[in-house]
Amino acid sequence: MVRSASTQNSKLRERQATLQKDDVVAEWNIKNDELSLHVHCFVSGANLFQELTAGFRYHIFSKELPLVLHAVVHGDSVLLADQPELMDSKVWVYFHSESKEYNRIECWGPLKDAIQRTIVNRSDGIHDKFYDSIMKWASSKTVFHALVAVLFY
């Protein structure tokens, strides 16, 4: 976890090009005249392998994001102790992807609730789509595509 006093959008875009495949960037920002936590997850786009695994990566980011939010709460514990009302701030999650299905912005509600969130209590239906798509992984064509992506990565 790296903490910074400010992160500019241009720096975030520059960093996106060089991010490790599982990096998550979180920043406190003002949206709609309210201070909120903005979390950026890079689902796909850096390489072909990420494109082929966008659904899986989206699922993993969604599942593990509460752990990331716990790390933010721990890292910003001095700030949150000084301003406990920030636990009521909304969490906006930006999933960046070349795929229209996974390139999305989600409001996870107040931080105090978002850190307790589980994949089961989501209501957008994309979780069900992910499990349905797992069955497609059994096809030889998909296995071949994944193997080619790994070999040329």
pLDDT attached to residue 4:
54
Query: In terms of C-beta density within 10 A (0-12 exposed, 13-18 middle, 19 or more buried), how is residue 39 classed?
Result: buried
Collapsing DSSP to helix, strand or coil, 118 comes out as coil
pLDDT attached to residue 34:
87
Give the tens place of pLDDT for each residue, 2-33.
Answer: 455 555 566 655 555 554 556 789 999 987 88
Domain assignments of the chain as residue spans, ordered by start: 9-152
Q: What is the arithmetic mean of pLDDT over 127-140?
A: 52
Q: How far apart are CA 64 and CA 21, in angstroms?
A: 15
Q: Which residues contact 141 (CB under 8 A, 6 or more apart)?
A: none
Report field, pTM of the whole predicted structure over 0.75: no
